Amino acid sequence: MPILNVQLNTSCYAQTALADFMQKATAVFAETLGAPIDRIRVYLHDVPPQHMLIGGKAPDAVGGDAPFFQFYLLAGRPPEHRDALLVAFTDLLVECLGVERSVIRGFCSHIDPNDWSVAGVPAGQKRAQEIAARAQSEQS
Protein backbone atom coordinates (compact mmCIF):
# COMPACT_ATOMS: atom_id res chain seq x y z
CA MET A 1 0.00 0.00 0.00
CA PRO A 2 2.79 2.49 0.58
CA ILE A 3 2.54 5.30 -1.96
CA LEU A 4 4.76 8.33 -2.41
CA ASN A 5 3.69 11.28 -4.57
CA VAL A 6 6.21 14.03 -5.29
CA GLN A 7 5.28 17.27 -7.02
CA LEU A 8 8.20 19.04 -8.63
CA ASN A 9 9.40 20.62 -11.85
CA THR A 10 10.94 17.55 -13.47
CA SER A 11 12.67 19.66 -16.13
CA CYS A 12 15.05 20.92 -13.41
CA TYR A 13 16.61 17.47 -13.03
CA ALA A 14 18.37 14.86 -15.12
CA GLN A 15 16.24 11.81 -15.88
CA THR A 16 18.91 9.59 -14.32
CA ALA A 17 18.70 11.60 -11.08
CA LEU A 18 14.90 11.26 -11.03
CA ALA A 19 15.17 7.51 -11.62
CA ASP A 20 17.78 7.24 -8.86
CA PHE A 21 15.49 9.11 -6.48
CA MET A 22 12.55 6.80 -7.26
CA GLN A 23 14.66 3.65 -6.78
CA LYS A 24 16.06 4.87 -3.47
CA ALA A 25 12.63 6.04 -2.25
CA THR A 26 11.22 2.58 -3.03
CA ALA A 27 14.06 0.94 -1.10
CA VAL A 28 13.56 3.27 1.88
CA PHE A 29 9.84 2.44 1.98
CA ALA A 30 10.56 -1.29 1.84
CA GLU A 31 13.27 -1.17 4.49
CA THR A 32 11.46 1.17 6.89
CA LEU A 33 8.11 -0.60 6.71
CA GLY A 34 9.23 -4.16 6.03
CA ALA A 35 6.94 -4.02 3.00
CA PRO A 36 7.35 -6.10 -0.15
CA ILE A 37 8.63 -3.94 -3.00
CA ASP A 38 5.81 -5.07 -5.30
CA ARG A 39 3.34 -3.20 -3.06
CA ILE A 40 5.18 0.13 -3.20
CA ARG A 41 4.31 2.90 -5.63
CA VAL A 42 6.35 6.08 -6.28
CA TYR A 43 4.97 8.77 -8.57
CA LEU A 44 6.62 11.96 -9.75
CA HIS A 45 4.17 14.67 -10.82
CA ASP A 46 5.58 17.35 -13.09
CA VAL A 47 4.62 20.88 -12.14
CA PRO A 48 5.80 23.34 -14.80
CA PRO A 49 7.33 26.52 -13.34
CA GLN A 50 4.48 28.67 -14.66
CA HIS A 51 2.10 26.58 -12.52
CA MET A 52 3.79 27.17 -9.18
CA LEU A 53 4.68 29.92 -6.77
CA ILE A 54 7.20 29.57 -3.98
CA GLY A 55 6.55 32.00 -1.18
CA GLY A 56 4.39 34.00 -3.58
CA LYS A 57 7.16 34.26 -6.17
CA ALA A 58 7.99 32.55 -9.45
CA PRO A 59 10.51 29.68 -9.05
CA ASP A 60 13.25 31.46 -11.02
CA ALA A 61 12.98 34.43 -8.63
CA VAL A 62 13.79 32.23 -5.64
CA GLY A 63 16.41 29.94 -7.09
CA GLY A 64 14.50 27.08 -8.68
CA ASP A 65 12.25 24.28 -7.55
CA ALA A 66 10.57 23.55 -4.20
CA PRO A 67 9.40 19.91 -4.15
CA PHE A 68 6.40 18.82 -2.16
CA PHE A 69 5.84 15.19 -1.20
CA GLN A 70 3.00 13.24 0.31
CA PHE A 71 3.00 9.61 1.32
CA TYR A 72 0.23 7.30 2.44
CA LEU A 73 0.39 4.63 5.10
CA LEU A 74 -2.28 2.37 6.49
CA ALA A 75 -3.40 3.57 9.92
CA GLY A 76 -1.82 1.75 12.81
CA ARG A 77 1.80 2.14 11.75
CA PRO A 78 4.03 3.35 14.56
CA PRO A 79 4.92 7.07 14.61
CA GLU A 80 8.58 6.08 14.20
CA HIS A 81 7.81 4.92 10.64
CA ARG A 82 6.25 8.27 9.76
CA ASP A 83 9.12 10.20 11.30
CA ALA A 84 11.79 8.11 9.59
CA LEU A 85 10.10 8.48 6.19
CA LEU A 86 9.64 12.25 6.52
CA VAL A 87 13.38 12.55 7.14
CA ALA A 88 14.40 9.97 4.52
CA PHE A 89 12.37 11.41 1.64
CA THR A 90 13.67 14.91 2.42
CA ASP A 91 17.24 13.55 2.57
CA LEU A 92 16.77 11.77 -0.78
CA LEU A 93 15.53 14.94 -2.50
CA VAL A 94 18.64 16.72 -1.23
CA GLU A 95 21.01 13.84 -2.08
CA CYS A 96 19.64 12.73 -5.45
CA LEU A 97 18.34 16.00 -6.88
CA GLY A 98 20.42 18.62 -5.08
CA VAL A 99 17.34 20.42 -3.74
CA GLU A 100 17.91 22.97 -0.99
CA ARG A 101 16.58 21.30 2.19
CA SER A 102 14.86 24.47 3.45
CA VAL A 103 12.38 24.57 0.53
CA ILE A 104 11.21 20.93 0.76
CA ARG A 105 7.78 20.26 2.28
CA GLY A 106 6.05 16.96 2.88
CA PHE A 107 3.45 15.13 4.91
CA CYS A 108 2.07 11.72 5.74
CA SER A 109 -1.57 10.67 5.41
CA HIS A 110 -2.82 7.70 7.41
CA ILE A 111 -5.58 5.74 5.71
CA ASP A 112 -8.05 3.49 7.49
CA PRO A 113 -7.51 -0.03 6.07
CA ASN A 114 -11.20 -0.26 5.19
CA ASP A 115 -10.92 2.92 3.08
CA TRP A 116 -8.15 1.47 0.91
CA SER A 117 -8.49 -1.28 -1.65
CA VAL A 118 -5.99 -3.69 -3.13
CA ALA A 119 -7.29 -5.23 -6.35
CA GLY A 120 -10.81 -4.26 -5.28
CA VAL A 121 -10.56 -5.83 -1.82
CA PRO A 122 -10.54 -3.51 1.23
CA ALA A 123 -7.10 -3.65 2.84
CA GLY A 124 -8.67 -4.51 6.20
CA GLN A 125 -10.12 -7.70 4.69
CA LYS A 126 -6.93 -8.47 2.79
CA ARG A 127 -4.91 -8.00 5.97
CA ALA A 128 -7.22 -10.36 7.89
CA GLN A 129 -6.88 -12.95 5.09
CA GLU A 130 -3.07 -12.72 5.15
CA ILE A 131 -2.96 -13.08 8.95
CA ALA A 132 -5.28 -16.12 8.80
CA ALA A 133 -3.17 -17.71 6.01
CA ARG A 134 0.02 -17.11 7.98
CA ALA A 135 -1.48 -18.66 11.12
CA GLN A 136 -2.65 -21.68 9.14
CA SER A 137 0.78 -22.21 7.55
CA GLU A 138 2.43 -21.99 10.98
CA GLN A 139 0.13 -24.76 12.25
CA SER A 140 1.06 -27.04 9.35
Dump pLDDT digits (tens) for 82-117.
999 999 999 999 999 999 999 999 999 999 988 988
- The share of the chain scoring above pLDDT 70, in percent, equals 97
pLDDT band (50, 70, 90) for residue 68: very high
pLDDT at 58: 85
pLDDT at 121: 80
pLDDT band (50, 70, 90) for residue 134: low
15-33 helix and 79-97 helix, angle to the nearest 10 degrees = 160
State the residue range of the domain holding 16.
3-139
Does the pLDDT at position 131 exceed 70? no
Closest CA to 76 of 127, 118, 119: 127
pLDDT at 1: 74
Domain count, the chain: 1
**CATH code: domain of residue 114:** 3.30.429.10
Task: Round the CA-based radius of gyration of the chain to a whole number and report it.
Answer: 18
The pTM assigned to this predicted structure is 0.86
